[in-house]
Amino acid sequence: MRREVIAATIARWAVGGTFIFSGLVKSVDPVGTSIFVDEYLAAYSLEGLGSLSLAAAVVLGAAELSVGVMLCLRLMTRAASAASAAMLAVFTVVTLLSATVLPVGDCGCFGDALSLSPWATFFKNVVLLPLAVWTYMRHRRDTLSSVWRLRAVAAAATVVAALGINAYALSHLPLIDFMPYKVGVDLASGVRRERAEAQAARRTVLVCRNETTGERREFDADDSGWYDGWEVMETRVEEGYAESDFADFALYSFSGEELSDEVFDYASRQHLLCIRGMDRLPQRCLRRLDAFLSRAAQAGERVVCLTSDVMESDCCMAAGHVLKCYNADAMVLRSMMRSEAGVVTLDGGVIVDKRAWRDM
């Protein structure tokens, strides 16, 4: 009997711990979670529901975190175990479809903290689902009268806290930054290193025909001993694989010239004002931007604007201030700054500070 109790406790903790981790990494970065939700909606041809992706991300993260805490602390265990079993059943079906007929690259079950393939996530769910069902079966006879009032209050407080974590991340920045553009990262060195590695991994292939036999073969252009008796028919460039955190990072001028080095080579402290949609910023945000830009001008600090909007020139108007402007990929800006507007501060190419507009 004691062994069964120990096994049941381990099962409850295994399910609860997984839900806590999964729910926490989603809740500290609901904007990032909404990106994964958008990918699933696209896979199921439900792009029209994209406006609900952020709300779905908040609900999913808060629900997983709440259920995990309730299971581990034995707060309303019957309801929590039933919810965990139901969610795992849905997740198992979804990940099986993602691994087969409706492919999705990264399942997103652990947000940006841990990348798992759909197959890996499917097998994880296959292991956890029976444990969740067993936990529910052990507590299915629990009644509301057997739930202490203090435990019910604690369960409610867990839900409120989980929603509060999401609300804070949405109003400010994620409590934990899992993206490559976190404080302390040498952005300039990272981008330049990855570009050099990508260039080194690139190879030119020559498709040739033997002048005597007519045989066709492929040769590496760097191989100096291939050419006797062969005629080049076509040339192609193959991109080699190299792990990359900053593959899409590039800053462009209005004319389309790549000018990332212009920012990286700036010797002093500078602020990158990241704005995804200038025309969508609320008045309160514009007032904060105005105050920040005025202080930066008085301190003699450089501020440039990064935007994914269509540019009309190399300068833009931000809260009444004229700024040098660069065009950047929308997903890069979303990775750098989860808020609709905010500032990333560089010093010698190193990210030394990040602030959403409410904290500027």
Domain boundary at 211, 238, 265, which? 238
DSSP run (H or E) holding 119: helix 118-139
CATH code, domain carrying 351: 3.40.30.10
Q: Specify whether 231 is located in the same domain as 257.
A: no
Within this chain, do residues 140 and 219 fall inside the same structural domain, yes or no?
no
What domain count does the chain have?
3
Which segments of the chain have a pLDDT < 70?
Answer: 1, 142-148, 224-227, 240-243
Residue type, 132: A
Give rounded-to-5 percent helix, strand, coil for the chain.
50, 20, 30
Q: Are residues 132 and 17 in the same domain?
A: yes
266 plus 141 within the same structural domain? no
Pair 274, 306: CB distance under 8 Å: yes
Residue 181 lies in a domain: no
Residue range(s) defining the domain that contains residue 230: 203-238
Cβ neighbours of residue 177 closer than 8 Å, sequence gap 6 or more: 29, 183, 354
User: Does 145 fall in a domain?
Assistant: yes
Q: What are phi and psi of 156, to 5 degrees?
A: -65, -40
Residue 77 lies in a domain: yes
> Which residues 6+ apart lie within 8 Å of 69 measured at CB?
16, 20, 75, 158, 162
Adjacent-strand bridge partners of 315? 324
Give the pLDDT of residue 217. 84
Output the pLDDT for position 242: 58
- The answer to whether position 225 is within a domain reads yes
Are 87 and 209 within one domain?
no
18 within 8 A of 128, measured Cβ to Cβ = yes
For residues 162 and 225, state if they share a domain: no
Q: pLDDT tens digit string along 290-348?
A: 999 999 999 889 999 999 888 888 888 888 889 999 999 999 999 999 998 999 999 98
Same domain for 225 and 146: no
Residues 226 and 342 in one domain: no
Are 159 and 91 members of one domain?
A: yes
| Burial call 134-164: b when 16+ CB within 10 Å, e when fewer | bbbebbeeeeeeebeeebeeebeebbeebbe
β-bridge mates for residue 204, sequence order: 237
Determine contact, residues 334/274, Cβ cutoff 8 Å.
no
Does any domain span residue 41? yes
Q: How far apart are CA 328 and CA 249, in angstroms?
A: 7
Look at residue 83 and tell me if it is in a domain. yes
Distance (Å, whole) CA 73 – CA 141:
18
Question: In terms of C-beta density within 10 A (0-12 exposed, 13-18 middle, 19 or more buried), how is residue 176 classed?
Answer: middle
What are the φ/ψ torsions at residue 122 (nearest 5 degrees)?
Answer: -60, -50
193 is a domain residue: no
Answer yes or no: do 222 and 134 share one domain. no
Tokens coding 162:
């989980």
Q: From CA 298, how far away is CA 293, in angstroms rounded? A: 9
Q: Give pLDDT tens digits for 269-293.
A: 999 999 988 888 889 999 999 999 9
- Of 113, 148, 171, the residue at which a domain comes to its end is 171
* Terminal alpha carbon distance of the chain: 59
SS3 165: helix
Same domain as 272, residue 142: no
Eight-class DSSP state of 311: P
Number of other CB atoms surrounding residue 73 within 10 Å: 15
Which pair of structure tokens corresponds to residue 359? 């904290």
pLDDT at position 227:
67
Helix or strand (DSSP H, E) at 204: strand 203-210
Residue 184 within any structural domain of the chain: no
State whether 129 and 261 are in the same domain. Answer: no
What pLDDT was estimated at residue 243? 62
Q: What's residue 27's pLDDT? A: 94
The number of beta carbons lying within 10 Å of the beta carbon of residue 120 is 14
